Amino acid sequence: MLTGLIYALLAGLFGALASSSAKLSLGASHLKELCDSAVRRWTVEEDSLTSGVDATSCEWVHIPLRLVCGLLLFSSNAVMWTFFAKALRQSSSSARATVTTTASNFVSSAFLGHVIFGESHALLWWVGISLTLLGLFILHGSSLKEKQLDVKKDD
């Protein structure tokens, strides 16, 4: 049962990674801005060595980065589905695996969105995720009580 939980948490994490990869691969402006800021930072720190480097190099660098993010999207999706299938196989119910994966995906998406894109979420979003997590805890708690009752009935 614990392995099913771990697989479900990993499936949610890789699902969020796939979503972030899709956003990076399809939105060229974010990768281009990252490249521009990195080049500016690099030219300020290493001004004497990089006098010939300018932001125009970012005009073409974002294309291979987008392709790498596209490959990461497909590989993350494949790993996510593998872990989700294993979570379904190891869990006592498909609802538990699905809710755990969804909650893990929400939390991981919030974390990756904040780290990579600088996103912040409204209070209503946090209320929604809190209710989802509360439902997850209730679902896991009720299944533990059912197992304890089944053990008592067998005795």
pLDDT at 121: 86
- What residue ranges do the domains of the chain occupy? 1-43+53-121
- Mean pLDDT for 28-34 is 74
The pTM of the full predicted model, rounded to 2 decimals, is 0.75
pLDDT exceeds 90 at position 71: yes
| Alpha-carbon dihedral sign for residues 96, 100, 106, 107 | positive
- How high does pLDDT run on average in the chain? 82
- Mean pLDDT for 128-152 is 73
Query: Higher confidence at residue 102 or residue 155?
Result: 102
pLDDT exceeds 90 at position 100: no
Burial class (CB in 10 A: 0-12, 13-18, 19+), 97: buried
